[in-house]
Amino acid sequence: MLRKIGRLFVIKTRLEAWLVTYAIALGAVERGRLYLETYPGFSGWLLAAACTGVVFIAGAKLLDSVKPQPAAIRVGPYPASGERRHQFSRNRPTPRSLHRDAESRFSRRTD
């Protein structure tokens, strides 16, 4: 029974993450307003800014924790291969193998 109740508090979709972030933002603004009334001056503004800054951090963490939905449409008829393409480096030339003792691969000289 506790497991069923516990599943109600799990954030599963991005919409739920946005709604929780909105609720955190409402609470942070209210607390910031309270700080401005309690601590007039620079200290109140500093605490209010800290409250609203936490919303950005918490919202980013919530949105990163929710996995994006898989694509509904497949791009091609074949599944993607697991092989990676070989990357070439343009910084260092690779030595070419010489064919039939020729100086160049394209040379037809047979001295």
Q: Of residues 105 and 57, which shows the higher confidence score?
A: 57
CA atoms 99, 102, 103, 108: torsion sign: negative
Predicted pLDDT at 78: 64
User: Do the beta carbons of residue 66 and residue 14 sit within 8 Å?
Assistant: yes
What single-letter DSSP state applies at residue 100?
T
Among residues 24, 26, 23, 50, which one has the least CA distance to residue 36?
50
Backbone angles phi, psi at 44, to 5 degrees: -65, -40
pLDDT, one tens digit per residue, over 5-62 is: 888 888 888 899 999 999 999 999 999 999 999 999 999 999 999 999 999 999 999 9
| Domain layout of the chain by residue ranges | 10-65
